[in-house]
Amino acid sequence: MTGTLPEPFAAWFAARGWTPRPHQLDVLAAAQAGESVLLIAPTGGGKTLAGFLPSLVDLHANPRPGMHTLYVSPLKALAADIARNLTRPVADMSLDITIDTRTGDTSGERRRRQREAPPNLLLTTPESLALLVSLPDAPQMFASLAAVVVDEVHALAGTKRGDQLALCLARLSTLAPGARRTGLSATVAHRQPLVDYVSSGTPARVIEVTGGAPPEITMILPEGRLPWSGHMGLFSAPEILARIRAAGMTIVFVNTRAQAELLFQELWKLNDETLPIAIHHGSLELESRKRVEAAMAEGRLRAVVATSSLDLGIDWGGVDQVLQVGAPKGVSRLLQRVGRANHRMDEASRAILVPANRFEVLECEAAILGVAARELDGDPPRPGGLDVLAQHLLGVACSAAFHPDAMFAEVRRAAPYADLTRQDFDAVLGFVEDGGYALSAYERYRRLFRDSEGRMHVMSERVARTHRMNIGTIVEEPLLKVRHVGRGGGMLGEVEEYFVNMLSPGDTFMFAGRLLRFLRLRETVCEVTDGGGGDPKVPAYAGGRMPMTTNLADRVRAMLQDPATWHAFPEPVQEWLRLQKARSRLPGRHDLLVETFPRGDRWYLVAYCFEGRNAHQTLGMLLTRRMERFGFQPLGFVATDYVLATWSAREPHDVARLFEQDMLGDDLEAWMAESSMLRRTFRNVAVIAGLIERHHPGAEKTRRQVTVNSDLIYNVLRRHQPDHILLRATRADAAGGLTDVARIAGMLARAKGRIRHMVLSRVSPLAVPVLLDIGRESVRSGESDDDLLAEAETLVAEATGTAEPPPFRPQRPAPPQRPRPDRRQGRLFA
């Protein structure tokens, strides 16, 4: 269906020495036929231009006022960047087209102008779109809409932000029935849900760009010894620095913010030439992130140490190579990161993996094979969240009264809600209306009322104002600002409240690439000054770690079992595996290797499950409960991405029975009831659904006092109305988080009758890494808060001499020896 480009566009392309790519012309032809399109292309494929070209061509042929195209991106920065890039061709060709952005940063004055005279092309985010949809003039504003372009669909579909956007798109289909949609996506594992997401009425046409040079991915190891454990990769700092020196511009991706801080520090200790190396992660003050991004764009940096904060976003162009320090965790994630280098489709992206320990060498190799095989991973999108629906329904009511029947039909046109039942819809609407509580005396308090024709109206302007202040589906941990009170001070960024609660005045910690000393907590600001010496604490950000994907785990298992593939590994790894084979056995692809051995005065049990850290955490809790019942006196456990290790006072035996599938019965129920996971999930649901307000008009200062802690609400609601719609939404969400349990169930079923129990006299080579992790990892999820308090109380009693210490304390490995030149920190780029 490839056509040609009309003038003046053809001339504009030619003047640049460009030829329109086939997929750009295909998208144009489809758009001119009024079809919706899902364009799947790798980064650097000219996707964004393909998305906008039909709108530019149409507006050139038929110039008209009013909003023509709405572009939605998951990132504010991306919207702003695209707006800049579009201004160029529009100016070059003297097109009579107006362009503007609308995000949380847009000034009140500009917002007003946009409402009076909407631009032809409006670039925005899902949250800002939800706000626009809740305004009384939304029907007029969107009536002229001809196209919606959704960028990075793959990053939105399946998330709550994606649910919100899908509902807003369904709303737009009602307000502007003729508007077509274009979805822009990277290659994904599950395609059909994305097609459904973009479709409006008739199925969207899929246009896929294949080919492009495959990425070149290699691995580097630290010189000297290959670490047995640890996830930070600090040993490899000299090699990382050498690679930075050898290339123009490098992004050094890491897995957690803590790792970013530590690695950044380590690189600057060695950085004798003071190469401009910066740090970028989500906790840093927006201004400092913007400074780093600007310096990158201008080519003033040689390297940026970054977390997922740079995974998506602006096409930097000048990035020559990408380093991934630490485990890649998944093939799709690695490809996304690799794609940040060299945004030209016909050239290969270069990436280097830097494993932090032996197991990560296996994982890196598995990821390289996975990339070569184009074996993408990722969970299929789940049904849309009921909490998001609640927020949306109130938003629509704030714009205009609606009839429930019509609204139900509209909502079901959004792909994530295609299977929504009328019963659930009515329950959500009931919640929005008056809380939906089974207590009739409470119905006098309400947010919506019904008129005589059954249409729903918002109760008051105050309800609408409060709603608009609380739009959004990203619920953040409670954060405290970090302020430097010394010279050259100012806001440095934000840290989690719980981390500050762990600090005493005088404690030092690493943040924003600097060593800081905690002075005091003043209201919601954590005041700090420059740190001197001392052993710094590092913020261990909650949720910073993601587990390895199932596909990658399968590959690791397959390689372990097949010595013919070992030649790909460095010699120390090969030797390690040979030793394991000689002393114990290798974990097989379809069995479950369980080793037991004594060490010190403890018995250890190590299970090689390869199901990811989160699943192992849950399994560890279930298994230790069971060991308790079996009389083995378990004392603790530690989980990594690869294995689970428990230690106990008595020797575990009858291992096959220990790992029977009934483990997931009563123990799981008991654990779920106590689990903090459901409470956390409830908090998110309650905030998104609007039960707990993040912002209240005129009450910003006293917000902490006016909001009721979600745990307290959860306790009361669970006891008095266990089937309340928000609790059902919580359980549905948690079921997503419980894919861990599904992984355990699958593993137990697979291992049934295939448990290889090795009774050893001492630790096996493969078990060394996890034993080294003992004492370094927190074992949070398995224990109740009461257990933790009891332990802390006992520890203090020991420290003050009122109780005997336990006899056993595992040793930490000695820190690496390395000359440390006394350098100033890289403050300029922090």
Partner 1 sequence: MTPAPVHLAGERLMLDPEGALFWPAQRLLAVADLHFEKGSAAATSGSLLPPWDTRATLDRMAGLLRRYRPDTVVALGDSFHDAKGATRLLPQDQARLAAMTKAAAFVWVLGNHDPTPPEGIGGTSAEEWRVGPLVFRHQATPGRVLGELCGHHHPKAHIPTRGTVVTRPCFVFDGRRLMLPALGAYTGGLDVRAPAIAGLFPRGGRVFLLGRDRLFSFALPARAAAGALL
Type of residue found at 817 = Q
Please report whether residue 723 would count as binding partner 1 according to CB under 8 A. no
Minimum gap (Å) between residue 571 Cβ and partner 1: 36
CB of 381 to partner 1, least distance (A): 30
Is 789 a binding residue for partner 1 by CB under 8 A? The answer is yes
Least distance to partner 1 from the beta carbon of 82, Å? 38
Segment lying near partner 1 (by CB under 8 A), choices 394-402, 444-452, 650-658, 804-812: 444-452
Q: Is 131 in the site for partner 1 (CB under 8 A)?
A: no
Residue pair 725/433 in contact by the 8 Å Cβ criterion: no
Identified binder of partner 1 from the candidate list 691, 725, 747, 830, rule CB under 8 A: 691
Contacting residue, 105, 476, 654, 793, with partner 1 by CB under 8 A: 793
- Alpha-carbon distance of 245 to 241, in angstroms, equals 6
**355 belongs to the binding site for partner 1 (CB under 8 A):** no
Closer of 291 and 537 to partner 1 (Cβ): 537
**Would you tell me how many other CB atoms lie within 10 Å of the CB of residue 327?**
29
18 sits near partner 1 (criterion: CB under 8 A): no
Query: Does residue number 418 form part of the binding site for partner 1 (CB under 8 A)?
Result: no
Nearer to partner 1, 242 or 540 (CB): 540
CA–CA dist 739, 715 (Å, integer): 25
What one-letter code names the amino acid at 305?
Answer: V
SS (H, E, C) 528-581: EEECCCCCCECCCCCCCCCCCCHHHHHHHHHHHHCHHHHHHCCHHHHHHHHHHH
Nearer to partner 1, 96 or 711 (CB): 711
Tell me the helices (H) and strands (E) count for the chain, helix number first: 32, 25
Closest separation in Å from C-beta 526 to partner 1: 10
Minimal distance, residue 670 CB to partner 1, in Å: 14
From the CB of 590, what's the least distance to partner 1, in Å? 35
Residue 351 bridge partners (DSSP): 217, 322
CB of 662 to partner 1, least distance (A): 27
Q: Which is nearer to partner 1, 727 or 745 (CB)?
A: 727
Alpha helix stretches (DSSP H) within 65-199: 76-92, 108-116, 126-133, 138-142, 153-156, 160-175, 192-198
Helix 404-412 to helix 422-434 angle, to the nearest 10 degrees? 120
Least distance (Å) between residue 597 CB and partner 1: 26
Q: Which of 535, 601, 786, 822 binds partner 1 (CB under 8 A)?
A: 786
Candidate segments 126-134, 662-670, 788-796, 820-828, binder of partner 1 by CB under 8 A: 788-796
Minimal distance in Å, beta carbon 441 to partner 1? 6
Binding mask 372-411 for partner 1 (x = CB under 8 A): ----------------------------------------
Contact call for residue 520 and partner 1 (CB under 8 A)? yes
Map the footprint of partner 1 across residues 84-113, applying CB under 8 A.
none
Evaluate whether 362 touches 561 at the Cβ level (below 8 Å). Answer: no
Binding of residue 803 to partner 1 (CB under 8 A): no
CB atoms under 10 Å from CB of 380, counted, come to: 11
Asked if 391 contacts 688 with a C-beta cutoff of 8 angstroms, the reply is: yes
Amino acid at 473: T
Alpha helices in 562-706 (DSSP H): 571-583, 613-630, 655-658, 666-674, 676-689, 703-706
For partner 1, which residue of 785, 798, 805, 809 counts as binding (CB under 8 A)?
785
Judged by CB under 8 A, the residue of 246, 409, 716, 759 near partner 1 is: 716
Query: Is the Cβ of residue 198 or residue 258 nearer to partner 1 in the bound state?
Result: 258
52, containing H or E segment: helix 47-61
Looking at beta carbons only, is 406 or 542 nearer to partner 1? Answer: 542
Nearest to 246 by CA among 296, 206, 302: 302
Stretch 499-518 residues interacting with partner 1 (CB under 8 A):
501-505, 507
Stretch that binds partner 1, among 304-312, 481-489, 622-630, 712-720 (CB under 8 A): 712-720
Is-cis flag, bond preceding 8, omega within 30?
Answer: yes
Residue 790 binds partner 1, judged by CB under 8 A: yes
Q: Which two tokens stand for residue 513?
A: 């690439």
Rounded to 5, what percent of the chain is helix, strand, coil? Answer: 45, 15, 40
- Looking at 567, 719, 820, 824, which residue binds partner 1 (CB under 8 A)? 719
Residues making up the chain, counted from first to last: 830
CB of 180 to partner 1, least distance (A): 39
720 counts as binding partner 1 under rule CB under 8 A: yes
Report residue 454: phi and psi, to 5°: 85, 10
Q: Is 434 in the site for partner 1 (CB under 8 A)?
A: yes
| Residue numbers 450-489 binding partner 1 by CB under 8 A | 462-463, 466
Of the listed pieces 19-27, 120-128, 233-241, 688-696, which binds partner 1 according to CB under 8 A? 688-696
Max Cα–Cα distance, the chain, nearest Å: 87
| 103, 106, 565, 721: residue in contact with partner 1 (rule CB under 8 A) | 721
Nearest residue to 432 (alpha-carbon basis) of 419, 450, 414, 411 = 450
Instruction: For residue 698, give every residue at least 6 positions away whose Cβ sits within 8 Å of its Cβ, in sequence order, or none.
Output: none
What count of other Cβ atoms lies within 10 Å of the Cβ of residue 76?
21
Residue 192, Cβ neighbours under 10 Å: how many? Answer: 12
Site string for partner 1, 529-548 (x = CB under 8 A): -----------x--------
| Least Å from the CB of residue 99 to partner 1 | 38
Binding part of the chain for partner 1, among 168-176, 282-290, 759-767, 792-800 by CB under 8 A, reads: 792-800
Q: Classify 694 as helix, strand or coil.
A: coil
- The pair phi, psi for residue 45, each rounded to 5°, is -90, 10
Strand 350-354 and strand 216-219: the pairing is: parallel
- Cβ count near 776 (within 10 Å): 13
Spatial CA neighbour of 781 closest among 662, 615, 666, 642: 615
* Residues from 744 through 783 that contact partner 1 (CB under 8 A): 778-780, 783
Of 285 and 777, the one with the shorter C-beta distance to partner 1 is 777
Q: Which residues bind partner 1 (CB under 8 A)?
A: 431, 434-435, 437, 439, 441-442, 445-447, 462-463, 466, 498, 501-505, 507, 520-521, 540, 691-693, 704-709, 712-713, 715-717, 719-721, 724, 778-780, 783-786, 788-793, 795-796
